[in-house]
C-alpha cells in the first residue's frame, strides 16, 4: 500500500487519498482516519469538548459528531440496507450547512448543546463505525468508494479544525493551559532569498483521476503568468516584529481599506500583533499548543489575517502571490514538511539552501479570490454544497499547516478563509513582479 511513493507507518495518520485496491484497504483506511480524530482529542478534558469560544470555533464534541453525521447522512442512509438511524434528532443538530438535508441547527449555538453528552457522541461514533465497516464489506461500488474517501478527507479537515478551535479556546483562557506539555523543536537560523520564475502559459488545477481530489481543484486548465519571484522562506516572527515596531499597525497607507476599517472598529482589543501574541516589556510572547513561549524570531509568523499579510508585504515593497504562482512553484516538489504528523503542533524553523518547502508549517495567504476554475462543476446532489457555494468573499490559502495531515495536502489543494480570519495557522510568503512595467 503506497501513497505518493511514501510508506505509511503505524502511528502516523494514513492517507485518505490513496489508490484503493480492495475492501480491506478501505476498511483499514477508514479506521485509521477515524481513530486519528480520537487520538487528537485524547489530551482534552470533557469541558474542553463543550466550548465554542467564537462562532467559527466549534466545540470538539460537535466536530466528533458532525463528521460521523456525514457518514450516516451520505453513506448509511442512502446505501446501507435496513440502516436504523442512531438518533433522529442528530440529523439537524449535526448538520453543518447542507440545506439540501434540512435546516441546520444554528451554527453560533453549537456550544450550547450540553446534550447529547460526549459519552453519547462517542457511542454514536462507535455505532456508525460498525455500520460503515459492514457497508464497506458488502457493497464496494464506485459511488460508495468515492463518498467514503470524501468523508475521510472531510474528517481530516475537521481534525485540523479541532486543533485550531481548541487552540482558540485554550489560548484565550487566562490560565493559558497547554494542549500537550512537550518541549519545542530546536530553532534554526533564518535565511531568506528570492527564487525567480519565468511564468508563461502554464497549467493549474487537476483532473479527476485515481486519487481523490476536491471539485474545486478541477479541472486542470491553462493560465498565463507574468515573470515573478517568490521568497524561499516564510516571513519570520523576527521580520514581523520589525513591521510592528515600525508602526505597521498604525499606518493606514499600508493597509487595504477594509482591513483598516476593521482595525478602527475593534473595541477592546485592537490588533497590534498576531493572534496569540502578547507583549511584556520589550518581549513578544506567543501562545502555542504546547504553552506560552517567547516568539522565536527564526520561526514563521503565524495566525495573521490576510489584511496583516498584505500590509506586511506592502511595507516590504512586495505583494502576496496569486494561487497560480504558488502552485506553479510548488507543483513538482515533494509534499514534505512540518505537518500534524510531526506532532509539533507549531511552525518549525526553515533552513538550508534553496527553496524551502511550501508545504506544512502555515497556510500561505494568496491574493486570489476563491472562485470557480473555468468549467468548474460541483459534486453531484447534496454534496454539491461542499465547496462551490463558498466562492465569494474568501481568499485562497495554499500548502497546508502544522495542523494538517500530510496525506491530506496536494500542490493543487485550495483552502479558503475570509480576509480577517486569523485563528487558522496562516502565514506569509512574499512575491514580487520580476519585471515591473513602468507606466509611460
Minimum CB–partner distance for residue 213 and its own copies (Å): 10
Three-state DSSP at 287 gives: strand
Three-state DSSP at 63 gives: helix
Minimum CB–partner distance for residue 118 and its own copies (Å): 7
If you ran DSSP here, which 8-state letter would residue 65 be given? Answer: H
Q: Based on CB atoms, which residue is closest to its own copies, 223 or 403?
A: 223
Q: Based on CB atoms, which residue is closest to its own copies, 217 or 341?
A: 217
Q: Based on CB atoms, which residue is closest to its own copies, 138 or 393?
A: 393
Minimum CB–partner distance for residue 384 and its own copies (Å): 8
Helix ranges (H only) for 102-207 are: 118-138, 142-172
Q: Based on CB atoms, which residue is closest to its own copies, 26 or 118?
A: 118
* CB-CB contact of 234 with 190 (8 Å): no
Q: Based on CB atoms, which residue is closest to its own copies, 93 or 184?
A: 93
Q: Based on CB atoms, which residue is closest to its own copies, 50 or 237?
A: 50
Nearest to 309 by CA among 275, 270, 267: 275
Minimum CB–partner distance for residue 372 and its own copies (Å): 7
Q: How far apart are CA 207 and CA 34, in angstroms?
A: 27
Minimum CB–partner distance for residue 46 and its own copies (Å): 4
Nearest to 151 by CA among 120, 119, 125: 125
Among all chains, which residue has been given the C-alpha cell 486542470? 220
Three-state DSSP at 80 gives: coil
Minimum CB–partner distance for residue 53 and its own copies (Å): 5
- Counting Cβ atoms within 10 Å, is residue 207 exposed (0-12), middle (13-18) or buried (19+)? exposed
My answer on whether omega of the bond before 204 falls inside 30° of 0, hence cis, is: no
Q: Based on CB atoms, which residue is closest to its own copies, 72 or 215?
A: 215
Minimum CB–partner distance for residue 199 and its own copies (Å): 9
Q: How far apart are CA 385 and CA 277, in angstroms?
A: 36
Helix ranges (H only) for 246-295 are: 257-265
Q: How far apart are CA 352 and CA 330, in angstroms?
A: 17
* CB-CB contact of 97 with 104 (8 Å): yes
Minimum CB–partner distance for residue 80 and its own copies (Å): 25
Tell me which H or E stretch contains 286. Answer: strand 283-288
Q: Based on CB atoms, which residue is closest to its own copies, 172 or 191?
A: 172
Amino acid at each position: 500500500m503506497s501513497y505518493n511513493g511514501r510508506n505509511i507507518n503505524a502511528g502516523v495518520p494514513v492517507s485518505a487519498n490513496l489508490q484503493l485496491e480492495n475492501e480491506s484497504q478501505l476498511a483499514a483506511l477508514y479506521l485509521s482516519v477515524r481513530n486519528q480524530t480520537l487520538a487528537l482529542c485524547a489530551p482534552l478534558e470533557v469541558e474542553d469538548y463543550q466550548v465554542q469560544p467564537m462562532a467559527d470555533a466549534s466545540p470538539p464534541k460537535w466536530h466528533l459528531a458532525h463528521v460521523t453525521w456525514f457518514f450516516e447522512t451520505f453513506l448509511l442512509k442512502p446505501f446501507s440496507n435496513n440502516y436504523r438511524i442512531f438518533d433522529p434528532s442528530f440529523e439537524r443538530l449535526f448538520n453543518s450547512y447542507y440545506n439540501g438535508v434540512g435546516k441546520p441547527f444554528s451554527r453560533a449555538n453549537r456550544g450550547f448543546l450540553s446534550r447529547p453528552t460526549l459519552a453519547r457522541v462517542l457511542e454514536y461514533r462507535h455505532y456508525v463505525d460498525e455500520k460503515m465497516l459492514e457497508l464497506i464489506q458488502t457493497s464496494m461500488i464506485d459511488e460508495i468508494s468515492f463518498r467514503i474517501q470524501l468523508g475521510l478527507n472531510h474528517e481530516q479537515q475537521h481534525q485540523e479544525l479541532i486543533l485550531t478551535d481548541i487552540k482558540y479556546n485554550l489560548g484565550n483562557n487566562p490560565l493559558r493551559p497547554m494542549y500537550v506539555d512537550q518541549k519545542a523543536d530546536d530553532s534554526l537560523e533564518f535565511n531568506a532569498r528570492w527564487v525567480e520564475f519565468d511564468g508563461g502559459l502554464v497549467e493549474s488545477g487537476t483532473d479527476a483521476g485515481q486519487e481523490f481530489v476536491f471539485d474545486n481543484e478541477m479541472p486542470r486548465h491553462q493560465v498565463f503568468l507574468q515573470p515573478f519571484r517568490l521568497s524561499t522562506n516564510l516571513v519570520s516572527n523576527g521580520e514581523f516584529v520589525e513591521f510592528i515596531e515600525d508602526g505597521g499597525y498604525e499606518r493606514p497607507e499600508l493597509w487595504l481599506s477594509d482591513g483598516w476599517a476593521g482595525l478602527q472598529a475593534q473595541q477592546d482589543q485592537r490588533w497590534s500583533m498576531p493572534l496569540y501574541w502578547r507583549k511584556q516589556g520589550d518581549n513578544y510572547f506567543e501562545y502555542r499548543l504546547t504553552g506560552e513561549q517567547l516568539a522565536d524570531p527564526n520561526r514563521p509568523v503565524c495566525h495573521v489575517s490576510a489584511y496583516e499579510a498584505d500590509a506586511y508585504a506592502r511595507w516590504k515593497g512586495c505583494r502576496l502571490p496569486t494561487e497560480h504562482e504558488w502552485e506553479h512553484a510548488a507543483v513538482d516538489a515533494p509534499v514534505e514538511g512540518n505537518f500534524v504528523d510531526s506532532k509539533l503542533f507549531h511552525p518549525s524553523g526553515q533552513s538550508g539552501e534553496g527553496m524551502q518547502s511550501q508545504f506544512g508549517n502555515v497556510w500561505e495567504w494568496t491574493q486570489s479570490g476563491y472562485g470557480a476554475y473555468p468549467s468548474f462543476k460541483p459534486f453531484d446532489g447534496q454534496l454539491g454544497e461542499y465547496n462551490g457555494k463558498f466562492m465569494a468573499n474568501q481568499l485562497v490559502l495554499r500548502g497546508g499547516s502544522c495542523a494538517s495531515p500530510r496525506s491530506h495536502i496536494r500542490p493543487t489543494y485550495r483552502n479558503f478563509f475570509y480576509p480577517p480570519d486569523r485563528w487558522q495557522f496562516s502565514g506569509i510568503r512574499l512575491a514580487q513582479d520580476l519585471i515591473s512595467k513602468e507606466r509611460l
